[in-house]
Amino acid sequence: MKIAVVGATGLVGSVMLKVLQERGFGNQEIIPAASSKSEGKKIAFSGRELEVVSVEDAVKQHCDYAIFSAGSKVSKEYAPEFAAVGTTVIDNSSCWRMDQTIPLVVPEINIDAVQDNDRIIANPNCSTIQMVLALAPLHRQYGIKRLVISTYQSVTGTGVKAVKQLQTEEANAVHANDNSDVQYPIFDVEMAYPYQIYRNVLPHGGDFLDNDYTTEEMKLVNETRKILSDANIKITATVARVPVTGGHSESVNAEFEKPFEMDEVRRLLSSFPGIILLDNPEANEYPMPILSEGKDGVFVGRLRRDDSTDNALNMWIVSDNLRKGAATNAVQIMQKLIERRNGQMQ
């Protein structure tokens, strides 16, 4: 099997390579592809070195699968070229998500949305993936009427530049507060955000739209409806960026069509694939980014009934946005398709 990783030198691309190794693809032929500035670079993978090639060269190699994490512009240009030579593309950008001809997939929920002749499959936004995984079993049982969402998103969701901004601002603060005689340099900060992120919270994720919401907020609205196959769910969202690197956190208030019992909610969540129920507030056990970092699970806790209205539930959802929110979900889609095709061949 031949698998291309497009955007292999980026933050998500490097995690994709790691997840491929962890999930048994270490012996397969992996083609790392990136922009011209990274072409020829060597990447360690499963005990060997891989040479980064151009995206054009990767297309010519007629891969079985191509996993993209290189931005919408690259996806729009090259995903159709891969598809035209028979490669199945799993794209992590926002380029194809709301195209009604392209399946938008979280494999535990809707892998059946992928048809055998689909050659481009969209990976949802990181904050959407973890939320819908927690909501799907409850929606099936009770029917979601309305969602009120507030997210607290890691700087890793913005990329390497944002991580460096946080690290540099933190280093500058440490040096500025040091009272010793040693003179430390003050580092220049390349800004990924319009303001400092260290010791700050920015109510701003993505670009502002004409409706005063941001692109990140509208992704939560539109992608959730598509994945859960329900255009009638009322959804409002606020996205905030926080000085954290371990994962995204979300406060979700869900109002249902039908009444529920808390014990049944916990049973549905704890038995759903990919969910780790961590809900013991008396022992201070609840989801946090520091617990989710490097893991593939979606952690759910702080479950409690919203007594201010009928049939409503509060929940706190945390997941590593680079793994289940991006790389792991994409690799899982590929795994499910391989299983399906192997089953058809038998």
Catalytic center residues: 126, 248
Query: Looking at beta carbons, which pairs linking 193-198 to residues 24 or more positions away fall under 8 Å?
Result: 193/158, 193/162, 193/165, 193/241, 196/165, 196/169, 197/155, 197/162, 197/165, 197/166, 197/169, 197/241, 197/242, 197/243, 198/166, 198/169, 198/170, 198/173, 198/243
CA end-to-end span of the chain, whole Å? 17
Q: How many Å is the maximal CA-CA distance in the chain?
A: 73
Calpha distance 156→243 (Å, rounded):
10
User: What are the two backbone dihedrals, phi and then psi, of residue 175, each rounded to the nearest 5 degrees?
Assistant: -65, -40
Identify whether the C-beta of residue 47 lies closer than 8 Å to the C-beta of residue 83: no
